[in-house]
Amino acid sequence: MAQLVATLASTHHPFYLKATTMPPEQQMPQAPEWKRKVEAYRETLSRTKPDILVMIGSDHFHQIFLDNCPQFLIGKAERYDATFYNEEREFGIPKYVLEGDEDMSRFMHQSLMNQNFDLAFSNELKIDHSIICPIITVRPENDLPVVPIYTNIFAPPLHTPRRFYDLGRAIRKAIDDFPSDKRVAAIGTGHLSLELGGPRQFMETGPDPVFDRQAIEWLKAGDIDAILENVTHETMARNGNATHGFLNFILMLGVAGAEGADYVDNLDLFHTMEAYFTWYPKEQTA
Amino acid sequence: MSKYYVNKFLFTVDRDPDYLKRYTEDPRSFVVTWEQSIGPKLIGNEGEASTVHGFTTAERDALINHDYVALFEMGAHFFLNLTLFIGIYDEPYLTKSGPLSFQREFAAKLQHWRDKEYPSVET
Ligand SMILES: [Fe+2]
């Protein structure tokens, strides 16, 4: 059976590449610290020597739109193009091509259906920055096949925090059951408090630093009960109108399994709190 | 009212450099063109017409006027509303007033919503 070797959950910041590669005299003062933190985080993945990456993200109206909008979707293709024109325009993210793993996608899809998760699927999925940002930060070599899974965190009605956690648990079971000797890492990105297109956007901090600190504590402790007791769609909307990206952190905690994180770091940037978590399955940290 | 159709406008224009240029330079005539020949196409199927949506006068005016405050208040999706107008205004604002100046002006114009429940983006 395949072996889960690491679960990574982080924020994704589409400006990371631009912010850390522009001429040094034009860089923001935090750029070197940001780069150091990201490179340290990258090491938490590379030391586990993964063969396949299960990547969880959320399309930002790039391929998926309101005419046809799945709650959860899995990519099943040999390869995936990545980065849309408007992401190049706004963020300066280059185009990529990612290798797929059709066998694992097929197995994952069937397993999730068997576990009562009706995932939509796509045989021609173009990946957006929710999955390319973590490739840039934690696997810039882009040398591993991926199984992409998208969640709807954007177009209400959204699924419950509990459903995201349970989907994470089901993805974990599918990884554990995958008949292969491959080493699998699961990598998901989302947001802490975030405001986009509203009155609290682009402030000195994220829209709700109190929530950000609390969320980091919950994830650090793996305290799913506290999260499910305290986090609802209404509370997330009050934390910032795009805070629903936190649902992907809840999903990743489901993959890891409600345990304390083995690696936790964060960085207060000008309008968001960046956060980086890694969990290792317990038998391997010994 | 068609929040969906307003979002379809923002979505189709944001992803197409030619539409974006035309909407930037002459929004009034571009919105007319969009309503005649772009909006009625099913997404992903150029040959098939969809006849079910149209703009209200207020929606059309908001789009013609690049009025992102009105669009926010109508419940246009926050991501599309921000991204498209960044595509139009980020560069000129950057040159004139520095990084993020457009984004901050956008936020400033919405301050009256700060402690209220925002208009729903559900479609
Ligand atoms: Fe995002």
> Has residue B61 been placed in a domain?
yes
Q: What residues in B contact A241, CB-CB < 8 Å?
A: 78, 118
How far is the C-alpha of A216 from the C-alpha of A234, rounded, in Å? Answer: 19
How far is the C-alpha of B120 from the C-alpha of B72, rounded, in Å? Answer: 9
How far is the C-alpha of A190 from the C-alpha of B37, rounded, in Å? Answer: 37
> Has residue B55 been placed in a domain?
yes
A202 contacts B14? CB cut-off 8 A: no
The number of angstroms, rounded, from the C-alpha of A63 to the middle of its chain's C-alpha atoms is: 18
Of B90, B87, B117, B116, residue with least CA distance to B103: B90
Residue B1: pLDDT band by 50, 70, 90 thresholds? low
How far is the C-alpha of A74 from the C-alpha of A125, rounded, in Å? Answer: 9
Beta partners for residue A4, in sequence order:
A184
How far is the C-alpha of B98 from the C-alpha of A186, rounded, in Å? Answer: 39
A65 contacts B11? CB cut-off 8 A: yes
> Has residue B123 been placed in a domain?
no
Could you tell me the distance, in angstroms and rounded to a whole number, from the CA of residue A76 to the centre of ligand 1? 22
How far is the C-alpha of A168 from the C-alpha of A119, rounded, in Å? Answer: 13
Could you tell me the distance, in angstroms and rounded to a whole number, from the CA of residue A60 to the centre of ligand 1? 7
Place of tokens 């899995």: A74
Please state the rounded mean pLDDT for residues A91-111.
98
How far is the C-alpha of B70 from the C-alpha of B76, rounded, in Å? Answer: 9
Out of A61, A84, A270, the one facing B79 most closely (by C-beta) is A61
> Has residue B122 been placed in a domain?
no
**Number of domains making up chain B:** 1
How far is the C-alpha of A74 from the C-alpha of A62, rounded, in Å? Answer: 15
Per the prediction, chain A carries an average pLDDT of 96
A108: left (phi over 0), alpha (psi -120 to 50) or beta: alpha
Amino acid identity for residue A282 in this structure: K
**How far, in Å, are A15, A272, A279 from residue A48 at the CA level?**
27, 29, 11
Could you tell me the distance, in angstroms and rounded to a whole number, from the CA of residue A224 to the centre of ligand 1? 23
Of A163, A186, A248, A218, residue with least CA distance to A44: A186
CB atoms within 10 A of CB B9: 27
Q: How many helices (H) and strands (E) does chain A have?
A: 11, 10
Q: Which domain holds residue B103?
A: 3-113
Tell me the residue ranges of DSSP E strands in A43-83: 52-57, 72-75, 79-82
Please write down the HEC assignment for all residues of A199-235.
CCCCCCCCCCHHHHHHHHHHHHHCCHHHHHHHCCHHH
Beta partners for residue B115, in sequence order:
none
Render pLDDT for B23-68 as a digit per residue (tens, 0 to 9).
999 999 999 999 999 999 999 998 999 999 999 999 999 999 999 9
Amino acid identity for residue A142 in this structure: N
Q: Which domain holds residue A237?
A: 3-284
Asked whether residue A286 carries a pLDDT value surpassing 60, the answer given is no
| % chain A with pLDDT above 90 | 97
**Number of domains making up chain A:** 1
A242 contacts B82? CB cut-off 8 A: no
Omega into B40 within 30° of 0, i.e. cis?
A: no
Residue A282: pLDDT band by 50, 70, 90 thresholds? confident
Identify residues of B whose CB sits under 8 angstroms from chain A CBs.
4, 7-8, 11, 14-17, 42-43, 68, 72, 77-83, 86-87, 90, 100, 103-104, 106-108, 110-114, 117-118, 120-123
Q: Which DSSP helix (H) or strand (E) runs through A281?
A: none
Identify residues of A whose CB sits under 8 angstroms from chain B CBs.
60-62, 65-68, 84-86, 89-90, 154-157, 196-203, 237, 241-242, 270
DSSP one-letter code for A197? S
Render pLDDT for B61-117 as a digit per residue (tens, 0 to 9).
999 999 999 999 999 999 999 999 999 999 999 999 999 999 999 999 999 999 999
ipTM of the complex: 0.96
CATH number for the domain that contains residue A81: 3.40.830.10
Cβ partners under 8 Å of residue A111, min gap 6: A170, A173, A174, A177, A178
How far is the C-alpha of A209 from the C-alpha of B87, rounded, in Å? Answer: 28
| % chain B with pLDDT above 90 | 97
Render pLDDT for A172-199 as a digit per residue (tens, 0 to 9).
999 999 999 999 999 999 999 999 999 9
CATH number for the domain that contains residue B37: 1.10.700
Out of B7, B11, B107, the one facing A202 most closely (by C-beta) is B107
Token pair belonging to A224: 């799913």
Token pair belonging to A18: 């631009």
Token pair belonging to A100: 């797929």
Please state the rounded mean pLDDT for residues A237-266.
98
A203 contacts B121? CB cut-off 8 A: no
CA atoms within 13 A on the CB side of A239: 26
Out of B78, B120, B122, the one facing A196 most closely (by C-beta) is B78
Cβ partners under 8 Å of residue A259, min gap 6: A222, A279, A282
Q: Indicate yes or no: pTM above 0.95.
A: yes
Q: What residues in B contact A65, CB-CB < 8 Å?
A: 7-8, 11, 43
Exposed / middle / buried, residue A86 (Cβ in 10 Å: 0-12, 13-18, 19+): buried
How far is the C-alpha of B103 from the C-alpha of A201, rounded, in Å? Answer: 7
Could you tell me the distance, in angstroms and rounded to a whole number, from the CA of residue A130 to the centre of ligand 1? 6
Query: Helix, strand, or coil here: A258?
Result: coil
